[in-house]
Structure 1
Amino acid sequence: MQQKERLIQLLEQQLAHSNKQNNELAKKLEQSLKQIEVLTEQVRQLTKALYGSKSEKSKYRAPDGQISLFEDEDDPFFNESEHTEEQSTETICYTVTRKKTNKKRNDSFRGDIEIEEIHHHPENIICDCCHGEMVEFSSVLVREEAKFIPATMKRVQHFEHVYECKTCKKDNLQKAQIKRGKAPQGAIQRSIAGPTVLAKLIYDKFIQYLPLYRQVKEWERYGLLTNDKNLSNWVIRVSEDWLQPLYDLMKQQLMKKSVLHIDETYSKIIKRSDGKAPQSNAYNWVCRSVQSEGPIIVLFKSALSRGRAILEDLIKDFKGTVICDGYSAYNQLPNVKFANCWAHVRRYWLKVDSKNGRIGVEYCDRLFHIERKIKHLSPEKRVQIRQKEAKPIIDEFFDWIDRSPFFGKNAIAKAAEYTLSRKEELKVFLDNGNVAIDNNPAENAIRPNVIGRKNWLFSFSEAGAKANAICLSLAETAKANGIDFYRYLVKLMTDLPNLPIHQQPEILHDYLPWSENIQATCAK
């Protein structure tokens, strides 16, 4: 009997051990399946990123049939019915009468381009029949062509002429009067770089994105022999002496706004003061004002890091709302409220290749559709419509995420976590009509810096990086206010060296891109 009980006890122990092993194996299997699911989703996302569409456009249509902000218009080519195999076997004969239409050209001349006429007459105007002289009765314009006249380099020499009074000198009654002509000051002392050369140099780098070392050969073709070190020094000197005061004034004006867009992107600086390797990332920060608060101001700042201290210094005098992405530095600053970007939320849900991902994207698209309708309205009217139409959608969106079991490390869990963790910041735009739903204006403002970075690759020194930030600030602010940046630079390089701007800084107000003076002389 005892032996039988012992045998039963051993069997129970073995069964318990087997159950424990089975439970452990089941847990490992469950973990492996989850890991396989995550890895499969990552492979799907990487494949989509590598081979799929790079656009963020979606197929969402608003209830009234209007296309979403993210969708192109339908291609009329695809509106025709598809031909079946049976239809394609038939031979149909018909005659097409084509209506003559004036095809719209995709190339043309601006209205103020000078016209040069070339008239072609027959070599012989003697009639072959009666041998009399023929008389012109009409002329026909047969074609137009563009003619390019290359830029020319001139060597301009300034002479100051000196005059004296011969009468006073002859009579010796008093000291002879002498007068001397005064040549205007150059932008850079003891340099051959004139205003137009400096303007083209900066324009080509920050509007055409042409690196300085590539500009050297172009200048040589025009007849100016120089090198990229000279060109770099010219940009730095001009930025420090004449553009920096305007940059500082623009920053003062910017800090008086109540809403700012802010973003940042990496850059490279070879000679760093912090001792880090040249391969380490430096950063360019950008601030941009909103259209509803007056003239657009775009301001860049070069920094060696992406740290919170840089942001604090950048907006230390600002009181208001900052529209930004989800970077952790954008958090809890005195006198500053942060509003997060719905475009970033949408991108997270766009990465989720499932039905739930499409639902998340559709919620975002409905919000952007409302914004598209109200973008031309006053801030007060925008708040009213947002509270009435957008707020219920946002509440429904967050409630849907709360009720859905999104856990783990997969894309949908990340999208849900990103959205919920910024719940309050994503609602800020509902109560402020000056706050945009996204941070796209800042991303668009920083794009020229990104394009330029691909061409000029790096800044050699921190002084060069600072000069880049100043020039980019004036270039993007000029563009945003409808100013021809080249003409603007020529005027700055011509006027400012001959004005007492350091003794009378109020003069600089007349040289801001939105001033009456600049709008009247440099508008496109």
Structure 2
Amino acid sequence: MDTSLAHENARLRALLQTQQDTIRQMAEYNRLLSQRVAAYASEINRLKALVAKLQRMQFGKSSEKLRAKTERQIQEAQERISALQEEMAETLGEQYDPVLPSALRQSSARKPLPASLPRETRVIRPEEECCPACGGDLSPLGCDVSEQLELISSAFKVIETQRPKLACCRCDHIVQATVPSKPIARSYAGAGLLAHVVTGKYADHLPLYRQSEIYRRQGVELSRATLGRWTGAVAELLEPLYDVLRQYVLMPGKVHADDIPVPVQEPGSGKTRTARLWVYVRDDRNAGSQMPPAVWFAYSPDRKGIHPQNHLAGYSGVLQADAYGGYRALYESGRITEAACMAHARRKIHDVHARAPTDITTEALQRIGELYAIEAEVRGCSAEQRLAARKTRAAPLMQSLYDWIQQQMKTLSRHSDTAKAFAYLLKQWDALNVYCSNGWVEIDNNIAENALRGVAVGRKNWMFAGSDSGGEHAAVLYSLIGTCRLNNVEPEKWLRYVIEHIQDWPANRVRDLLPWKVDLSSQ
């Protein structure tokens, strides 16, 4: 008995030693993977800083040759960022660490296919009608079910509308059904086709010439000029909705604003000039609001301050934006409160840190990071709860940051990049502090910057707007599609419904066609 126990103890000790060796090997493997992840993150941050710098250079005074070179460098850096992010995701998927946040650990479980997708059932019955072993009768035992995701390619079809005429046999009176409304007068384009073209360009960033090539492969010749006319006609058709959206976004409260340069072709010259798309976003979901978010774009041929002043002529409340001087007249009126963007201030410090990290830039970023950590905790809470947390926790940190920067400025050369980054933050200090006294205000203006991402991606593909009217049409369609996205509404399905119905829709009920109001469950 003692001998068997000794053997069992020896076996268990050997097993324990093997497991401990395995754990040490896994820990070493995870350590190496963590180093790889850190290297990926460092390189991604460096490339993002490079992209931001190149984008700022791109719209300064430079030759077309230099601008093209900058564009290529930006594209190469962004492609490298995407590749590194994929490699980092794969590495995180290999890593097991119970301490690692769940958001960073990749689950190997496959997500179920959405129940909302249409399903086609195929039953494959056994060939045998009786038991192949003994010849007995077979009875149901169960069923194994597997799913396969398939794509049904889009196809063109022609809808022929016939309206028979009927004549009275007594008085020769003729009756005939009225002509149904068309989305575009004297055009054969259906609502579904128009919605597909518009979504392709403004949601999926597919230029019209590429769409034309795709349709040609499907057997239908639709020139880029034709698609361009249709796109403009749809924008004009939806202008009543665009106006209603503007009224909704610019209600009193808090609005995020930003702008982005858009190249516009000069008629007849072949050259381009830089116009502007302005974006205004109402989105209070971070403060627990149940009001639907919405975005409104406006086009202008230049970046003069008169444009945002006209856009916001009737607005009162908080305007969260960058430090663009064109907003200054709005704040001087007293009806609009300026709220600045901490992300802009942080980005200037981060750019310096990315080029030449120091203890000062490291501490500055850490201090700002503490402010963002508080915001992450209270995101989605009510405005009152956010305000309470900010007053007790964020406000003291902001004051400490201010005092610390003032102390550092005494030791820095005023010509140094770090001093310039700190000077920008101090110049914006009062506007940066607004969020500590208003639970509806955000710490930064990322909501507006995120709304411009689609324009930035699309601009790389379609290169320029063909005219000022083309820029105005883009503003309409970006507004409506952007609002669909904010409300998780499928833009093509919504556009198809609205294009099909708006001609006959009562003018006093246009608001009912806004993306969050239309029920698309039966479409």
Pairwise TM-score range, normalised by the shorter structure: 0.7 to 0.9
In 1, Cα distance between the equivalents of 2:271 and 2:115?
A: 46
Select the residue among 446, 450, 454 that pairs with 2:452: 446
Q: 1:222 aligns to what?
A: 218
In 2, Cα distance between the equivalents of 1:118 and 1:220?
A: 38
CA gap 1:277/1:439 in 2 versus in 1, 3 angstroms: farther
Gaps of 5+ in 1: 1-47, 57-71, 82-101, 170-175
* SS of equivalent residue, structure 2 residue 156: coil
Q: Is 2:95 the counterpart of 1:77?
A: yes
Q: What is the identity, as a one-letter code, of the residue corresponding to 1:514?
A: W
Larger radius of gyration: 1
TM-score of the superposition, structure 1-length normalised?
Answer: 0.74
In 1, Cα distance between the equivalents of 2:309 and 2:133?
A: 92
- Paired residues in the alignment total 423
Contact 1:339 1:425 in 2 (8 A): yes
CA gap 1:390/1:75 in 2 versus in 1, 3 angstroms: farther
In the TM superposition, 1:95-494 aligns within 5 A as 104-105=109-110, 108-119=113-124, 121-122=126-127, 135=138, 141=144, 143-167=146-170, 169=171, 176-240=172-236, 242-271=237-266, 278-291=271-284, 292=289, 294-333=291-330, 334=333, 335-350=335-350, 351-352=352-353, 353-404=357-408, 405=410, 406-494=412-500
Contact 1:382 1:433 in 2 (8 A): yes
Contact 2:309 2:329 in 1 (8 A): no
In 2, Cα distance between the equivalents of 1:293 and 1:306?
A: 34
Superimposed CA distance per residue, residues 247-270 of structure 1 (whole angstroms, 9 cap, x where no aligned partner):
011112222131110011111110
CA gap 1:215/1:75 in 2 versus in 1, 3 angstroms: closer
Q: CA deviation at 1:463?
A: 1.3
* SS of equivalent residue, structure 2 residue 48: coil
Superimposed CA distance per residue, residues 200-238 of structure 1 (whole angstroms, 9 cap, x where no aligned partner):
111111221111100012222333321000000001011
* SS of equivalent residue, structure 1 residue 233: helix
Contact 2:253 2:317 in 1 (8 A): yes
In 2, Cα distance between the equivalents of 1:523 and 1:414?
A: 57
Gaps of 5+ in 2: 1-41, 51-88, 100-106
Q: CA deviation at 1:497?
A: 1.6
Contact 2:216 2:222 in 1 (8 A): yes
In 2, Cα distance between the equivalents of 1:52 and 1:253?
A: 40
Q: CA deviation at 1:424?
A: 0.9
* SS of equivalent residue, structure 1 residue 54: helix
CA gap 1:431/1:237 in 2 versus in 1, 3 angstroms: same
CA gap 1:321/1:136 in 2 versus in 1, 3 angstroms: same
Q: CA deviation at 1:129?
A: 8.2
Contact 2:266 2:273 in 1 (8 A): no
* SS of equivalent residue, structure 2 residue 452: helix
Q: CA deviation at 1:506?
A: 1.4
CA gap 1:80/1:467 in 2 versus in 1, 3 angstroms: closer
Q: What is the identity, as a one-letter code, of the residue corresponding to 2:152?
A: I
In 2, Cα distance between the equivalents of 1:221 and 1:284?
A: 34
Q: CA deviation at 1:469?
A: 1.1
Q: 2:26 aligns to what?
A: none
Q: 2:18 aligns to what?
A: none
Contact 1:323 1:439 in 2 (8 A): yes
In 2, Cα distance between the equivalents of 1:151 and 1:290?
A: 35
Select the residue among 33, 46, 54 that pairs with 2:48: 54
Contact 1:184 1:498 in 2 (8 A): no
In 1, Cα distance between the equivalents of 2:131 and 2:97?
A: 60
Q: What is the identity, as a one-letter code, of the residue corresponding to 1:324?
A: A
In 1, Cα distance between the equivalents of 2:185 and 2:297?
A: 27
In 2, Cα distance between the equivalents of 1:418 and 1:362?
A: 18
Q: CA deviation at 1:76?
A: 8.7
Contact 1:483 1:522 in 2 (8 A): no
Q: Is 2:510 the counterpart of 1:512?
A: no
Q: What is the identity, as a one-letter code, of the residue corresponding to 1:438?
A: D
Contact 1:325 1:340 in 2 (8 A): yes
TM-score of the superposition, structure 2-length normalised?
Answer: 0.74
In 2, Cα distance between the equivalents of 1:221 and 1:133?
A: 56
CA gap 1:437/1:370 in 2 versus in 1, 3 angstroms: same
Superimposed CA distance per residue, residues 93-150 of structure 1 (whole angstroms, 9 cap, x where no aligned partner):
xxxxxxxxx951257454433123141644x7698888x6985765764754333322
* SS of equivalent residue, structure 1 residue 459: coil
In 1, Cα distance between the equivalents of 2:125 and 2:202?
A: 44
Q: CA deviation at 1:400?
A: 1.1
Contact 1:206 1:472 in 2 (8 A): yes
Contact 2:131 2:138 in 1 (8 A): no
Q: CA deviation at 1:197?
A: 0.5
Contact 1:482 1:523 in 2 (8 A): no
* SS of equivalent residue, structure 1 residue 332: helix
In 2, Cα distance between the equivalents of 1:373 and 1:129?
A: 65
* SS of equivalent residue, structure 1 residue 356: helix
Q: CA deviation at 1:196?
A: 0.6
Q: 2:102 aligns to what?
A: none
Q: What is the identity, as a one-letter code, of the residue corresponding to 1:521?
A: L
Q: CA deviation at 1:379?
A: 1.3
Q: What is the identity, as a one-letter code, of the residue corresponding to 2:154?
A: A
Superimposed CA distance per residue, residues 361-416 of structure 1 (whole angstroms, 9 cap, x where no aligned partner):
11211111111111222212222221111111111111111122233322211111
Q: CA deviation at 1:462?
A: 1.3
Contact 2:263 2:272 in 1 (8 A): yes
* SS of equivalent residue, structure 2 residue 306: helix
In 2, Cα distance between the equivalents of 1:523 and 1:348?
A: 49
* SS of equivalent residue, structure 2 residue 272: coil
CA gap 1:455/1:196 in 2 versus in 1, 3 angstroms: same
Q: What is the identity, as a one-letter code, of the residue corresponding to 1:231?
A: L
Q: What is the identity, as a one-letter code, of the residue corresponding to 1:509?
A: R
Q: What is the identity, as a one-letter code, of the residue corresponding to 2:155?
A: T
Superimposed CA distance per residue, residues 315-334 of structure 1 (whole angstroms, 9 cap, x where no aligned partner):
11111111011222232312
In 2, Cα distance between the equivalents of 1:238 and 1:145?
A: 37
CA RMSD of aligned residues (A): 3.1
CA gap 1:128/1:300 in 2 versus in 1, 3 angstroms: closer
Q: What is the identity, as a one-letter code, of the residue corresponding to 2:163?
A: E
Select the residue among 472, 496, 502 that pairs with 2:502: 496
CA gap 1:74/1:227 in 2 versus in 1, 3 angstroms: closer
Contact 2:183 2:499 in 1 (8 A): yes
In 2, Cα distance between the equivalents of 1:129 and 1:381?
A: 72
Q: What is the identity, as a one-letter code, of the residue corresponding to 2:189?
A: A
In 2, Cα distance between the equivalents of 1:341 and 1:437?
A: 7
In 2, Cα distance between the equivalents of 1:197 and 1:139?
A: 45
Q: 2:19 aligns to what?
A: none
In 2, Cα distance between the equivalents of 1:294 and 1:129?
A: 67
In 1, Cα distance between the equivalents of 2:138 and 2:291?
A: 64
Q: CA deviation at 1:79?
A: 5.3
